[in-house]
Amino acid sequence: MEHAAQVLGIPVAADLLERWRGWFAPPVQPFRTDLMRPDVAAAAPDRRVQPTAEWQDTFFMYDGTWTWLSEAEFWALRPSHRRALLAIRRRTVRPKTMPVWPSELAAAGDEVMLRWVASGAVRPSRHDALPTDVWERAEPLLPRARALAGTFAQGSGPNCFGTVMAASGLDTADVQVGPQQFQAWVDECAEPVSGTARDNEPGIVFVWTEHGQVAHATVSVGAGWMLTKPSQSWSSPRLIMTVRDAVSSWRFRGTQLHRYRLRPR
């Protein structure tokens, strides 16, 4: 397969890179209307578009109301109105930087998009750093972990829960698995463990709850390494990081970490 780029230490095929361009810089883009000043809302076209899951993740369309502008319509607005729209977008997509228009992507090249993708990860994937014997020891419990590590999904939807289950051999790598379905799988296939003594073993499922609700999960592959997919976004890869980095990246107010040991099949 032809690899057209590399981001976070992960090769990206040419056909997937082409789809990324359409998700990152579509010709018609959403702007959040419930945060607009009245004069800006009056000047902006009122257009409704059904967003794809990928556009929702690019522009953080998780709440609020939205209108859609073409690039030509945006540039036809008064400069003060354009600045106001961009200020709203900057707030909406934080901590990411803002996506761009197609003309801006064409002028700047793919590097601006690749930097945007990379900004969502703590560090590049370390899948190439793992020696063969680590993967071999993990294989009985996690037969698909090595194939998943260092890859991007083909779009938005596949999430952390599906990635952990897929690593164990289930056909869930390309679907979005809900927290209740994931917890039911954990209850069936794993047993709770306490403390950090087993963190270097393969098959330790780390589950974070947020205000009591299951919110995130990863799985250890052994020797202090972890397989994780930070979010359901198309820009979120399945990557390898250290257990320490994985735990540090999910230290938020209201979260609690639970550990489970996968049972041999």
pLDDT tens column, 114-127: 999 998 777 888 99
Q: What pLDDT was estimated at residue 2? A: 56
Residue numbers in the chain where pLDDT is lower than 50: 1
Decide if 61 contacts 48 (C-beta within 8 A): no
Instruction: Choose which CATH entry (3.30.420, 3.90.1720, 1.10.3470, 3.10.50) describes domain 123-262.
Output: 3.90.1720
Q: Quote the pLDDT of residue 123.
A: 81
What are the pLDDT digits (tens) for 179-218? 999 999 999 999 999 999 999 999 999 999 998 899 999 9
Give the residues across from 260 on adjacent strands: 192, 205
Q: Considering the entire predicted model, what is its pTM?
A: 0.91
pLDDT of residue 265: 79
Instruction: Please give the distance of CA 106 from its chain centroid, rounded to a whole number.
Output: 24
What pLDDT shows up at residue 59? Answer: 97
Q: So where are the chain's domains? A: 3-117, 123-262
| Residue for token pair 């829960």 | 161
